[in-house]
Structure 1
Amino acid sequence: MKNSGENRALVAGGAGFIGSHLVDALLGEGLRVTCLDSFLTGRRTNLAHLAREPRLDLVEADVTEPLPDLPRFDWIFNLACAASPPHYQADPQHTMMTCVVGSHRMLECARSTGARFLQASTSEVYGDPQVHPQEESYWGHVNPTGPRACYDEGKRSAETLAFDYRRRYGLDVRVARIFNTYGPRMRADDGRVVSNVVCQALANEPITVYGDGEQTRSFCYVSDLVDGLMRLMRRETAPDGPVNLGNPREMTVAELVTLVSRMTGTRSQIVRRPLPVDDPQRRRPDITRAERLLGWAPRVALESGLEETIAWFAGEVARRDHVPVVGAARGGAARPRLEPALHSIAQG
């Protein structure tokens, strides 16, 4: 707390993939951290290594419901929301309410305590973009009634709320538009392309490619993304609009599959499925604004990040099955039993 000389941060969604890495970074900088999570998609195992950390407080709560009494915070990061297509489409109403009602509750918390507020938004606000690469001034091309709209429009609404709070109350808000992020602690069943391809390759199971595989994505390693979030929150003056955070290296899904196959030594064949509804054809961030305002740019090469991610997924299998993983990173000898989501998923 400010009056105790100890800086405090709240991370809503702090048990999730990105959120748990953000919690690590905040603790590493000496802050006291409150992690608030419903554990609908976040996992306690993501925080297991912090079980004896005295500066971490864990609150189990759903941001769509009234919140328990919370202390004063200096920083509030709102990352609460399922972020992968099969998860956010499983309960679209809850996804929308998490983005709208949940963001409203977090903004009110920030307003009542004078905290800086960072809203985690997404590249999905650009929809299936007609402008490439995507810069923050682009308003997007989103289907407001499609199966992805609960997330796309939910996040757009959360951005609207954040900037309305700035205009009405003078609240210090920052909005990060997060592009495809990958790394350790991803869920095997989250339905995103990196986890799907890596898990299927490690298991020597058919690798699912949606459409012709020529749709593009830009993959940012999680440590780079967290560095961007920290820089955005630390900046003394809030930017006057959203800031893209992502890796501008663009590649096709087919190229990613080829790379992962080579790195794992898999025997997997490729199977093709129809492209999901409203799946974006191209995705690459213009990060000029982040470079100028934050001095930020990704540093981890895709190959290095994938090596860490592959090793992590292989280790997950070894820990669960209690068997050694032999040749998982190169020779493809191990056959992990991970279950990537294969229903109605976008290569997001």
Structure 2
Amino acid sequence: MFPPSAGGRTRTLVTGGAGFVGSHLVEHLLAAGDEVVVLDDLSTGSARNLAGVADNPRLEMIHGSILNSKTVAQAMRSCDRVFHLAAAVGVKLIVEQPLRGLRINIHGTENVLTAAIEHKASVLLVSTSEVYGKNTADRLREDSDRVLGDPLLSRWTYAGAKGIDEAFAKAYCDQEGLDVAIVRLFNTVGPRQTGRYGMVLPNLVGQALRGHPLTVFGDGLQTRCFSAVEDVVPAMVRIERDPRARGQAYNLGGAREISILDLAREIIATLDSRSEIELVPYEQAYAAGFEDMRRRVPDNTKAHDLVGYEPTTPLTTTIMRVAADLLSRERLGSDAMPLASAGSFRGVI
């Protein structure tokens, strides 16, 4: 990894820094003493996510898109490293807007990688467990095969685009000497995550708080491993700093496998909600023929061996924190506002 900038502090660019994971990362980096530049177009993020650090003199916020190579180069200037989180996220959003997803996730990522080479910055590329597709392995390792469905189905656009992102990163590492590592996030959850793009936990928590039926797709027996954002973010930073991570990918997921049906039950019990559970066919939310993964469980051994990654936050704790965050946002009136217009976001502050 590269040395700190001339001022002695590490100067870090976080693309997508006003998003869910990005905002938690920004707070973590500022607490560690970094100078932080956030580049975000607020299409799915919110300036309100950074309200707690907006007055920090070591934070610079740039309202712009990674699709604009000049904006990316401006944001990258004097930065020592980049955490690249800006992306069109969520399968639901990608299914509905595949062209937007392809452009942002592929062209935007190449803009970030090429700017990093020019400015001699190291990169942590934040990818997704979706790259594994339909692989039915008991536990998914970083070298597990990618198994995707019909390439003409928009369902697989997100997985395909993020896979290309990883291929770009590895190629730039091998051919151009880019100092880059990759993390694949598995169902990261916590405060500030929105349910607008199909994210299951905030959706179910919001329904439970309102006393509405918790809508579970299919038979609800599909399983996931949810990981708390406060466990994931420090591991991301440690991986980026470790020179052994160069050119490598690392899973960051939860340790507890749970069905979505049991997740709904746990949310109801944790929040003492009177809501019931309603099973809903996938066709009511997605296009006909939508494929969901019956099981997606990470093998976290590689990240554990490198940086000691160990997810420890109980799911019930995360549920309560998400509920408190949703209630707070509703009181502030942000829940009914489009994310891109919530809060004030100056060009540079």
Do both share a fold (TM > 0.5)? yes
Q: Please give the alpha-carbon distance, in whole angstroms, between the structure 2 residues aligned to 1:67 and 1:89.
A: 29
Q: Deviations over 1:145-197 (max 9, x none)?
A: 32222211110000000000011011111000110011100114232110111
Gaps of 5+ in 2: 339-349
Aligned residues of 1:36 and 1:58 also touching (Cα < 8 A): yes
Summarize the Cα distance change of 1:196–1:338 in structure 2 as closer, same or farther, 3 Å threshold. farther
Gaps of 5+ in 1: 322-335, 340-348
1:118 aligns to 2:124 (yes or no)? yes
1:166-185 pair list within 5 angstroms? 166-185=173-192
Deviation at 1:122, TM superposition (A): 0.2
Match in the other structure for 2:342: none
TM-score normalised to structure 1 length: 0.89
Summarize the Cα distance change of 1:338–1:38 in structure 2 as closer, same or farther, 3 Å threshold. closer
Match in the other structure for 2:345: none
Match in the other structure for 2:215: 208
Deviation at 1:338, TM superposition (A): 10
1:241 maps to a residue whose letter is Q
> Secondary structure, in 3 states, of the residue corresponding to 2:140?
coil
1:251 maps to a residue whose letter is I
Q: Please give the alpha-carbon distance, in whole angstroms, between the structure 2 residues aligned to 1:189 and 1:99.
A: 19
Bigger CA drift: 254-263 or 63-72? 63-72
Q: Please give the alpha-carbon distance, in whole angstroms, between the structure 2 residues aligned to 1:47 and 1:90.
A: 28
Match in the other structure for 2:111: 105
Which of 294, 304, 307 is 1:291 aligned to?
304
Deviation at 1:305, TM superposition (A): 1.6
1:150 maps to a residue whose letter is T
Which of 146, 161, 164 is 2:171 aligned to?
164
Q: Please give the alpha-carbon distance, in whole angstroms, between the structure 2 residues aligned to 1:309 and 1:142.
A: 32
Bigger CA drift: 223-232 or 234-243? 234-243
Match in the other structure for 2:68: 65
Deviation at 1:319, TM superposition (A): 2.8
Deviation at 1:16, TM superposition (A): 0.4
1:280 aligns to 2:289 (yes or no)? no
Deviation at 1:309, TM superposition (A): 1.3
Q: Please give the alpha-carbon distance, in whole angstroms, between the structure 1 residues aligned to 2:70 and 2:211.
A: 45
1:242-281 pair list within 5 angstroms? 242-275=249-282, 276=286, 277-281=290-294
Which of 182, 190, 194 is 2:197 aligned to?
190
Aligned residues of 1:172 and 1:238 also touching (Cα < 8 A): no
> Secondary structure, in 3 states, of the residue corresponding to 2:25?
helix
Deviation at 1:140, TM superposition (A): 1.8
> Secondary structure, in 3 states, of the residue corresponding to 1:59?
strand
1:316 maps to a residue whose letter is R
Deviation at 1:239, TM superposition (A): 4.4
Match in the other structure for 2:344: none
1:148 aligns to 2:121 (yes or no)? no
Aligned residues of 2:139 and 2:298 also touching (Cα < 8 A): yes
Q: Deviations over 1:1-39 (max 9, x none)?
A: 612322100001100000000000111110100000011
Q: Please give the alpha-carbon distance, in whole angstroms, between the structure 1 residues aligned to 2:291 and 2:67.
A: 27
2:60 maps to a residue whose letter is D
Q: Please give the alpha-carbon distance, in whole angstroms, between the structure 1 residues aligned to 2:92 and 2:178.
A: 34
TM-score normalised to structure 2 length: 0.89
Q: Deviations over 1:202-253 (max 9, x none)?
A: 0001111101000001000111110111111111332442100011210100
Which of 301, 310, 320 is 2:323 aligned to?
310
Bigger CA drift: 163-172 or 69-78? 69-78
Q: Deviations over 1:237-292 (max 9, x none)?
A: 32442100011210100110110001112121222222351211101100010111
Match in the other structure for 2:341: none
Q: Please give the alpha-carbon distance, in whole angstroms, between the structure 2 residues aligned to 1:139 and 1:61.
A: 35
Deviation at 1:337, TM superposition (A): 7.9
Match in the other structure for 1:30: 33
Aligned residues of 2:179 and 2:247 also touching (Cα < 8 A): no
Q: Please give the alpha-carbon distance, in whole angstroms, between the structure 2 residues aligned to 1:191 and 1:198.
A: 13
Q: Please give the alpha-carbon distance, in whole angstroms, between the structure 2 residues aligned to 1:163 and 1:47.
A: 31
Q: Please give the alpha-carbon distance, in whole angstroms, between the structure 1 residues aligned to 2:160 and 2:195.
A: 26
> Secondary structure, in 3 states, of the residue corresponding to 2:126?
strand
Match in the other structure for 1:346: none
1:17 aligns to 2:20 (yes or no)? yes
Aligned residues of 1:179 and 1:246 also touching (Cα < 8 A): yes
Q: Please give the alpha-carbon distance, in whole angstroms, between the structure 2 residues aligned to 1:145 and 1:46.
A: 36
Percent of residue pairs bearing the same amino acid type: 34
